[in-house]
A and B are shown apart, each in its own frame.
Chain A
Amino acid sequence: MIACFHPRTFREAALILIAAVCLGFAYDAMSPLGVRKPGVNVALPPETGLPVTAAQTPSGTPGSGVQNETITAFIYLTDGEAPAVAVQQPPGTLKWPEVKPMLAKGAITLVDTRDAASYAAGHIPGAVSLPAGTPAEKFAEFMAGYPKTTPFVFYCQSLRCGIAHSVAARFRGEGGYTNVREMPGGYVEWTLAESNGTAATGGGR
């Protein structure tokens, strides 16, 4: 089939690639959320089977070991300018600046719905872990520990992960909890706002 192509097609394909590279790098340099901004680095949680130690968890929580393949990566900041966080989130949900004072006052129970490895590698201080994939009996056990009026706030990795929303819906539905809210910006929002390069380490590349 390749032999059927006119050489012009290859030239055009090369031009498309060049245009994509140029536009990509120009856009990335202009975007406040560009991945090549100075100071933005990324670390991955450790691979499966590697224990996560307390030294690797800036929030001071000893790791519980990796139970599943980790699924998330973290953006953290080193020295330099912090990129702006353009969080466009659904109405009725919370942003970190709203959650922060409530958490400080102990007015809410903050729940991290990411997998255990991600939680162990770094989480919002004060958050308790309830991975979305928790077996039903453990889930019920967790719920049994909290009265139905407990003010919960759920988060996961970022706006796109969505598992906090499904866990929150489960608490509202089968749990019958009446005060359930979400922080859709999740761990990325907190990291960019608070960590200043000290959070979300462990297994970095």
Chain B
Amino acid sequence: MKAPWRPDWILALRWLIGALLVWAALGKLANPQEFFTLLLAYRLPLPAGLVKVAAVVLPWLELLCGLLLLAGFRVQAALAWALVLFLVFTACTAQAWVRGLHIACGCLDLRLLGIRPGGGVAGFFESAGFAFGRAAALAVAAFFLLARSARHAAPANPES
């Protein structure tokens, strides 16, 4: 007898993370210089040259991981990078939030949804506080998926 259909929450979560990573990457790739200035505004204790390299590489890391997660190809490696990225985002936004920096987080470009940046809802979504909460939640989600995939890949379950 055919098993009843059940929603695959694990797959949905993986697609959600993948889609968010692709969205985040496209916004940054549209204007690398703007992303660079947004990164500098975080006032991280890093030399500008290193921030420049991050501005160049990070969007592509996001894009590749996002596409791999959406495609279901090399999922574990992509999840590992996603976890690293979300942990870095969590740390960066946390320090900006604690220091009271009024930054545009530069995470997800709302203009791709036709939403204009500025006050109100858009301002809230771009705030460091919300960005911190979102990055932390995504880090937890990525960790959950990664731990699950590592469990399944353990020698006790070699076939999965």
Given A5-B76, A16-B65, A44-B40, 18 additional A-B pairs, CB 8 A? A1-B146, A4-B153, A4-B154, A9-B77, A15-B77, A16-B81, A33-B31, A68-B100, A69-B101, A86-B31, A160-B106, A162-B104, A162-B116, A162-B117, A163-B118, A165-B116, A165-B118, A166-B118
How far apart are B123's CB and chain A's nearest CB, in angstroms?
Answer: 7
Whether A24 and B59, one on each chain, are in contact in the complex, defined by CB atoms closer than 8 angstroms, is yes
Choose one: A5, A75, A159, A162; the contact of B153 (CB below 8 Å).
A5
Whether B43 and A69, one on each chain, are in contact in the complex, defined by CB atoms closer than 8 angstroms, is yes
How far apart are B73's CB and chain A's nearest CB, in angstroms?
Answer: 10
How many chain A residues touch the partner (CB < 8 A)?
53
CA distance A42 to B37 in the complex (A): 8
Whether A72 and B119, one on each chain, are in contact in the complex, defined by CB atoms closer than 8 angstroms, is no
Per-residue CB proximity of B34-70 to A under 8 Å, as 1/0? Answer: 1111101101000110001001111111011100100
Q: Does B72 contact A (CB under 8 A)?
A: no
Known: A16-B77, A40-B33, A44-B40. A1 touches B147 (CB 8 A): yes
Whether B150 and A159, one on each chain, are in contact in the complex, defined by CB atoms closer than 8 angstroms, is no
- Which residues of the partner chain A approach B76 to less than 8 Å between Cβ atoms? 5-6, 9, 12
| B154 to A, closest residue via Cβ | A4
**Which residues between 88 and 109 of chain B lie within 8 Å of chain A, taking CB atoms?**
99-104, 106, 109
CA distance A111 to B29 in the complex (A): 30
Whether B123 and A166, one on each chain, are in contact in the complex, defined by CB atoms closer than 8 angstroms, is yes
Query: Chain B interface (Cβ within 8 Å of chain A)?
Result: 29, 31-38, 40-41, 43, 47-48, 52, 55-61, 63-65, 68, 74, 76-78, 80-81, 99-104, 106, 109, 111, 116-120, 122-123, 126, 146-147, 150-151, 153-154
- Which residues of the partner chain A approach B147 to less than 8 Å between Cβ atoms? 1
- Which residues of the partner chain A approach B55 to less than 8 Å between Cβ atoms? 35
Query: Chain A interface (Cβ within 8 Å of chain B)?
Result: 1, 4-6, 9-10, 12-13, 15-17, 19-21, 23-25, 27-28, 31, 33-36, 40, 42, 44, 47, 68-69, 71-75, 83, 86, 90, 115, 133, 157-166, 169, 188, 205
- Which residues of the partner chain B approach A162 to less than 8 Å between Cβ atoms? 104, 116-119, 122-123, 126
